[in-house]
Amino acid sequence: MKGDERKKFDAGTACNGAELDDALLDAMAKEYEEGTWSGHEGEVHAGRPRFGVERLVPVTFKIAPSTLATIDQLAADSDETRSEAMRQVIDRGLRVPA
């Protein structure tokens, strides 16, 4: 595909509110290639940012579907991911005196 024959690309909205589309990305690429780009390059990190000093490790365990549904509802109500909600539930449980 050439020129206008290309499929339109919509990457959404940048953090500064600019609509990201083919035209903007092509213009930015041209500036970068010509050495006139005013942006900055940063270090690329794979995955999500850390939550603190400690590295997180994956844990797998089985729970009842009804418990998972409750956690999913808690996550939805708090606008969080399932993982974030599960971490909070576990953290709260560890703070409860035995």
Q: Evaluate if residue 78 carries a pLDDT over 80.
A: yes
Q: Is the per-residue pLDDT at 32 higher than 80? A: yes
CB atoms within 10 A of CB 7: 6
Given a cut of 90, whether residue 34 has pLDDT beyond it is yes
**CA–CA separation, 70 and 7 (whole Å):** 42
Q: Which two tokens stand for residue 3?
A: 């020129």
Q: What band does 2 get if pLDDT is binned at 50, 70 and 90?
A: low
- For residue 70, how many other CB atoms are within 10 A of its CB? 14
